[in-house]
Structure 1
């Protein structure tokens, strides 16, 4: 719904009144720690950083953090052995997570990040760690729902929101997802529970199996035919804002969306030179290096 938490309220009347751009650490801060790991969450909370964390469900519908709906063969091991074939997280029970270890290998994209292997962290553990985190940080959960492959939007909404509401943490929660039906599920379940959840629609829509060429071609088609309007897309989904892939973002549309009172977020932007053009032009920048934001 369009009424958002105090820490997320953004003024769009003039440049002087616009809140400064916030940085959210992707996966907690993948440039510093293994993304979506226990170490990353602890490190980010200890430094008072806002975070963007990716959420999947186990077979028994326990929310946990992971970069994709499947076990990453490059980053993870099962029972100490390489991952062979496709192992989806929703095919693994929460008790079986103890057999999985991720993050114990250097990552070429983040040469200075801590290297540590750990079992996956659940949302329940994140909520426990929030007890020692600053009250004013933002926890942004990007929900990795894929129609026909992962549990339904309603299952995600119940599993995530029920835990958050029952934990009653003071920090602000933001939910994002790729599909309008996911946004609707979170908005609807939030209303049922009397909880005002802030939602962002991820753009562009990324289908399973899409490569960079697919995204670029689709984006070009939208621009030529003028068939993707950010404000309309958010409105149709009932979302409070948009979370746009920075490399394909239409800056004019982002400005319009912000003036219309929508939360505007872009992902993922790294390096001071790439971050600079976004400062004070969008509300949130998701980055692997949140400490780079001036």
Structure 2
């Protein structure tokens, strides 16, 4: 049994799709299939159920995957510790986030201060099979960043940023000149929203519920860039955090009266796994960065 076989198996097991796994691993599909077959021969059992060109991880595969994940994670941690002891580099930080636009300025500022640190960023969409908490639990990523406190054993989180929620309206909108609004004034407006399951969608639904309004949702998106673009185009209005990186040149952010609605962002980590010096330093940096930049509201 070879290390490469285990890495290939992990990718196939996560995707349960041989072609997609081969593309992600940058190898030919027949070569990947042969590697998985040899692994199954070594173990003496089939790890996947194969039906009409589809593969599904079976009970043997699920049991084996849990041990492979642990073994590869321990090897990766050992590599990090040895590299730091040898002083080969300042470190590598892997981080998973579903709010990349909020994180990017902090990453840029950190790299200006520590140019030898490398980042591996995994942008998680709401439709991703693996959540940030699962990536942390399995040691696939060092840190998580986003608007969710997981409340899971072993997963720690620290609040680093709070942003007030505004109503974004496009240039020329009838409410554009208002110094502030009530949500009742916008109750009949078409809204641009995130898809169900997105953490911001849950928060926005709660804002509407507390205000006693029923939104007409015209369009649902996955990413902030799409939401911003649709508001700028005049298609509708949206709830947006008052962050300094929001481009408000073509839309206005209106304060919501009698509202204490906020998005809270957390940095999270698995306290049971090794955390590199670089990752620990970035944790502290995030807290200082958002405080000094004055982006919390």
Normalising by structure 2, we get a TM-score of: 0.26
Task: Write 1 or 2 for the structure with the bigger share of helix.
Answer: 2
